[in-house]
Structure 1
């Protein structure tokens, strides 16, 4: 029996979004619940990106999913959606890393897509919450 694998999402892969990749995640995982990681959330374009932080007051909120047994296949399909793969120019837009997620079940090590390019500080989302695509970008 292989160890459980988790994915923490904070943007367009959350349950409130209905794109094909969010659907793929939902059909190949179980929602554990809400949680947060230490980080800073930025609006990149019509989607967010997170930068890991060590400051306890800097939190990014999202949803934690337990991936099904075919977790590597699911991650392999999600990676290109997040700009990861040989077909993307360097630096790739995101990197997938394991990060501590704090949730009702305790602290769980989970995969997270971390933004990997320069950010604009004026796009910092202080709330740590991404809820929708801003009207100005529709």
Structure 2
């Protein structure tokens, strides 16, 4: 569906990203939005991959802001452990 961001902060967690929510609208996490057609099967696989059962991440809905200017509700995986000793990625884009 396109590039987007949500209000949050992102950290480097042992060579993978971990995002958390923020109340500061200037703090953004950037990524891509994908439309899925088979939610049950896709989330079963993704939840297992993201460690939801082990409480490493939790899947929640947030408002995502598309580069087109549109806003939509989307699922994201939020890091569910302490970020106290983690390095923040201030650009908001893990791939940069």
* Paired residue total: 95
Asked if 1 retains the 8 angstrom alpha-carbon contact of 2:11 and 2:18, the reply is yes
When Rg is computed on C-alpha atoms for both structures, the one with the higher figure is: 1
| Structure with the largest fraction of strand | 2
Could you say which residue in structure 1 is the equivalent of 2:43? Answer: 75
Q: Which runs of 5+ in 2 are unaligned?
A: none
Counterpart selection for 2:18 from 39, 49, 53:
49
TM-score using structure 1 length: 0.65
Name segments (4+ residues, structure 1) moved above 3 Å.
Answer: none
TM-score using structure 2 length: 0.92
Aligned Cα RMSD in Å? 1.4
Distance in 2 (alpha carbons) for counterparts of 1:108 and 1:84: 23
* Shift in Å, 1:105: 5.5
* Shift in Å, 1:120: 3.2
Q: Which runs of 5+ in 1 are unaligned?
A: 1-31, 133-138
User: Tell me, what secondary structure is at the counterpart of 1:130?
Assistant: coil
More relative contact order, 1 or 2 (CA 8 Å, 6+ apart): 2
